[in-house]
């Protein structure tokens, strides 16, 4: 009976150690130099995007190019995201979303303008297709070149 109790207690102690470390693991990525997006109602308006300047056990000091550095207690933070870098595919999809409507808008302007009769374009549907496809191609190209920043969410740990 005592051997079983000792075995059970030792297993519980060994399993409990990693569980305590899991609470601090999500904030391990929030180190000086990391680009973060923070939401802290009552402290910052909306999202605050900046770089971590320093970090303590219970607070983080964040600065950005457009505002003064601020120190936030971890208990004030409701949402914390770490930048995962630029995504070319995400930028391309965003460029597609912008390029297609812009191409169609240019097509609408071109088909209703006086140039349409002067330029001798035989079919306005052909002109619409040309502008729509060129808007998609240009939008996807520029979007892929620029990229789109990806964010990975973290759950703040209150201590």
Residues 56 and 100 in one domain: no
Answer whether residue 155 is part of any domain.
no
Query: Is residue 21 located within the same domain as residue 56?
Result: yes
Q: Is residue 157 part of a domain?
A: no
Asked if residue 104 has pLDDT above 50, the reply is: yes
Span 33-50, average pLDDT: 87
Q: Which residue has the higher pLDDT, 120 or 47?
A: 47
Residue 12 lies in a domain: yes
Question: How many domains does the structure of the chain reveal?
Answer: 2
**Alpha-carbon dihedral 46, 33, 157, 60, rounded to 10 degrees:** -70
Q: Which domain holds residue 120?
A: 87-148
Whether 73 and 92 map to the same domain: the answer is no
The mean per-residue pLDDT over the stretch 124-142 comes to 84
The share of the chain scoring above pLDDT 90, in percent, equals: 3
Q: Which residues lie below 8 Å from residue 46, measured CB to CB, with a gap of 6+?
A: 39
Pairing of strands 47-55, 148-154: unpaired
Same-domain check for residues 8 and 69: yes
Asked whether the whole model's pTM tops 0.75, one would answer: no
Query: From edge to edge, which strands make up the β-sheet containing 70-73?
Result: 70-73, 59-63, 47-55, 35-39, 79-87, 148-154
Dist. CA 100–CA 146, nearest whole Å? 17
- Please report, for the domain that includes residue 61, its CATH number: 2.30.30
Quick check: 151 pLDDT over 70? yes
Same domain, 108 and 135: yes
What does the pLDDT read at residue 16? 46
Inside any domain, residue 159 = no
Final residue in a domain of this structure, among 77, 104, 126: 77
């Amino acid at each position: 009976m005592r051997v079983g109790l000792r075995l059970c207690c030792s297993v519980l102690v060994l399993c409990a150690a990693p569980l305590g470390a899991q609470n601090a693991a999500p904030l391990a990525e929030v180190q000086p130099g990391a680009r973060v997006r923070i939401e802290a109602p009552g402290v910052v308006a909306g999202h605050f995007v900046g770089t971590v300047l320093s970090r303590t056990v219970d607070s983080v000091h964040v600065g950005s190019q457009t505002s003064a550095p601020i120190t936030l207690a971890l208990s004030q933070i409701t949402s914390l995201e770490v930048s995962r870098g630029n995504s070319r595919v995400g930028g391309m999809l965003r460029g597609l979303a912008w390029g297609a409507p812009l191409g169609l808008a240019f097509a609408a302007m071109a088909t209703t303008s006086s140039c349409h009769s002067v330029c001798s374009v035989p079919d306005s549907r052909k002109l619409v297709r040309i502008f729509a496809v060129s808007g998609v191609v240009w939008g996807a190209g520029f979007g892929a070149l620029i990229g789109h920043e990806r964010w990975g969410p973290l759950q703040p740990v209150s201590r």
